Structure 1
Amino acid sequence: MSPAAIASTAPAPSNVKRTAPKSSTKPVITPSSILPQTPSDIVPAWVKPDLTRLLRVEHVPGDYASRSVSLVDLPAGAVFARISNPTPATCAYSSVQASRDLHIELNCDLVYINHSCQPTLIFDMTHWEIRVSPALEGGLKAGDELTFFYPSTEWDMAQPFDCRCGQNECRGKISGAKDMPDVVLRQYWLNRHIEELLLEKTNSAKGSGDAR
């Protein structure tokens, strides 16, 4: 036993009431202690997701004129909903590209989230989440139209279209990331499979140039 382990004074009698030492550790603040409590029988809207609590679909006459509007306020980067009921699909106007070789149908009102060149949302297909765009100044507000940038998921779209988002940054014809200049795409959040395909495209172009 080392000298430091030997008491220099006699131990206190066993009948003397001892006072517990005061902890120098500050109380731990957990999310549950600072956030409003959700009743245990109510599933948060983004888990299921209960889309009736998250968005409203506005059906408008005309081809592809319907849209969806947010019912909630969320900060930039927050999870809006999780993609929980997809099925594999072929590339179509209603599908979303989830990886290099996988397209899905959403099978819910999330399909009414339209394209915009200045989107309010991102579709993060690595994590199967829809989040508020990190670049959205002030975050998402109730009443905002729900949109995402289609080339952030789509490499080669089945049905190209002329964008009518009306933004100053409007990119015109949208046909997928394959046909869009890198300098434009780098201004947007992109999915991993789009980043990988862009890199392959760039390397292929360099290889073709070197072979000349």
Structure 2
Amino acid sequence: MRTIIITGAGSGLGKELALLFSQKGYNLLLTGRTLEKLADTKHEIESAGGKADIIQLDIRNNADVIQKIEEISGTYKIFGLINNAGVGHFGPFMEINERQIGEMLDTNVLGTILMTKAILPILKQNGEGQIMNIISTAGLRGKVNEAVYVASKFAVRGFTESLQKEYEESSIKFNAVYMGGMNTPFWDESDHIKDKSRLRSAKEIAEIIMDQLDQDSIIIENKNS
């Protein structure tokens, strides 16, 4: 059974994509920071007849990423990776502190690069695969009170577009997903979005993504855009 790894699979878009890919017959490897949430996603997948396992790893730690990927590569037939885990801190640029800057760059950029670098040799050896980077519309244009977050997403956009060109003659597919804000726990500790109920649900976004898996760039604007 082909296996897909999803980072940040415990809630929001990562969870919804895991559920949908499991319905297509993939085995899911769920990664994230909170084991409780990952266990909930695993339970939902298995209750619906799918298969899922949990891996605890720190995507910002290269040694941990390499070790865990090496461990699973002999057990699972890795087909894909969804770099979904992300961190956002919002507000006037001068009020964003060094810790917040580091968290965004380490998770959004470094984590995506390290996971991709660890998985690509396996996909090349298998002769096929798919890597999806969840970028958000912050990777398309600048936004007020999102300077560093946008910078991190522009970096992931450039990374993804470069790999699309580098591997365009191969059987490895790269998707860049640019979606507007979603009604997810991502905003629970921020007042940047005043009324998240007006945003699309993570389930709705996941369904749109699944319908466009053949596209290099998947752009999903907010409903009121």
TM range (shorter): under 0.3
Higher radius of gyration, 1 or 2 = 1
TM-score, normalization by structure 2: 0.23
Name the structure with the higher helix share. 2
